Amino acid sequence: MAVLCFFFPISGQAAEASGDGFQAGPFIIDHVTDSYGWHICGDGDKSVTIPLPIILIDGGRPVVFMSGKFHHGHAAYKGYALGWGDQKGSIVKLADDYTGHLEEGGNYAVDHVCKWNISITKNVCALFISLILIAWIFLSVAKQYKQRPNQAPRGMQALVEPVIVFLQDEVIHPSLGKNADKYAPYLLTLFFFILLNNLMGLIPIFPGGANLTGNIAVTGILALITFFITTFSAGKEYWVDIFNTPGVPWWLKLPAPIMPFVELIGIFTKPFVLMVRLFANITAGHIIVLGFISLIFIFGQMAPALGYGVSVVSIFFYIFMGCLELLVAFIQAFVFTLLSAIYIGMACGHEESTELVK
């Protein structure tokens, strides 16, 4: 239980110190959502957090300072503070340039919400870390190929090459045919980016712990890229099949264009499904794990001995869910890449992609 208290910023003493006791809902939401600092361990004012840059453009002038000035949301700096209530998650400008402690429940007048907020949040920092790791992995692998041509792979090369060969042989070439080499760089980058961030999200300590692929903005951008590539790579046959679907009775096309409408809607639902599937699966796994951890402190508030007793069961299910999430991390990266390859292959007119969908 002491180990869990280190990884998760809550303790039985801290829960008892608060008036309302331990609140599982806010605890879980705080862990799966983004933040302006990277929490390491501890709770409240005693927590250890890596401050991240706050970058605002307010009134036409740049405002830059570190998130540590907010003191975990309990202080204002030069009139700027973390929003509360309906404005939670944003940065607000108070009516004056007050700097100092914010009393809980205090009546502070908000002048406006900072709309131009380009701060480096936890997820943005995690994105930079993952990009650096991916660049380091593949540049080192490329260097090994140049230094040791036509030799058996070893080290990082031996780890990455079988995955690339599998994706090329089982996903990219069957889906794209002659266009495989053109889209392989994007699809391979997509797979390793999703996989790496899925795995990083399972590590409870820095530099892991960020829920990047469980952020719908990130999954939405990935789906949007696939949508644009699919749309702008589409040939004439692709659009003809949408508005004049072969094998469909004429009365479903004219006079009421039912099938063309369904096919047109399908263009937008495909990337939407990509976005929601990855977001929902990754976020749901984190929520379930945090739910099991929360049970320890919920029962611990009733009686410390009960909390320790429940912790045995919770830790067992935590380990089980951790193994399941590890499997899901690979499956979701594969499924996102596979469906992207199929959609692009269909747009390019590759027949096998159509057969895979059927």
Confidence category of residue 339, pLDDT binned at 50, 70, 90: very high
Mean pLDDT of 91-95: 85
Confidence category of residue 253, pLDDT binned at 50, 70, 90: low
Tell me if 176 sits within 8 A of 341, measured CB to CB.
yes
The chain-wide mean pLDDT, for the chain, equals 82
Confidence category of residue 246, pLDDT binned at 50, 70, 90: low
> Among 16-20, 150-154, 352-356, which range has the highest average pLDDT?
150-154
List the structure tokens of 211.
Answer: 């829920």
Count of residues for the chain?
Answer: 358
* Contacts for 153 with CB less than 8 Å, ≥ 6 apart: 144, 161
E-only strand ranges, 96-148: 100-101, 110-113
As a whole-number percent, the residues of the chain with pLDDT over 70 amount to 85
Per-residue DSSP letter, 4: H
Residue 235 has a pLDDT of 76
- The residue among 283, 315, 159 whose CA lies nearest residue 218 is 283
Residue 107 has a pLDDT of 73
* Contacts for 36 with CB less than 8 Å, ≥ 6 apart: 52, 54, 67, 70, 82, 91, 119, 121, 122
CA distance 258 to 173: 33
Burial of 132 (0-12, 13-18, 19+ CB in 10 A): exposed
Long-range contacts of the stretch 79-87 (C-beta < 8 A, 24+): 79/111, 80/54, 80/56, 80/114, 81/108, 82/36, 83/110, 83/113, 87/113
Tell me if 69 sits within 8 A of 77, measured CB to CB.
yes
List the structure tokens of 215.
Answer: 């952020």
> Which sign does the torsion angle of CA 131, 134, 138, 143 carry?
positive
Residue type, 254: L
Higher pLDDT, 103 or 43: 103
CA distance 47 to 70: 13
61: helix, strand or coil: strand
Residue-range domain boundaries for the chain: 122-357
Mean pLDDT of 154-169: 89
Residue 115 has a pLDDT of 85
Say which range, 134-138, 144-148, 330-334, has the weakest mean pLDDT.
144-148
- The residue among 186, 233, 259 whose CA lies nearest residue 347 is 233
Per-residue DSSP letter, 170: I
Pairing of strands 110-113, 91-94: antiparallel
What digits encode the pLDDT tens for the residues 180-191?
889 999 999 999
**Assessment of whether the complete model's pTM goes beyond 0.85:** no
The number of CA neighbours under 13 Å toward the Cβ of 329 is: 20
Higher pLDDT, 48 or 337: 337
List the structure tokens of 189.
Answer: 């980058």
What digits encode the pLDDT tens for the residues 201-229?
888 888 888 889 989 999 999 999 999 99
Task: Output the CA–CA distances (angstroms, integers) from residue 60 to 35, 78, 93, 112, 115, in the order listed.
Answer: 25, 16, 14, 14, 11
Task: Output the CA–CA distances (angstroms, integers) from residue 207 to 130, 203, 221, 246, 325, in the order listed.
Answer: 10, 8, 23, 51, 18
Burial of 340 (0-12, 13-18, 19+ CB in 10 A): buried
Is the pLDDT at 75 greater than 70? The verdict is yes
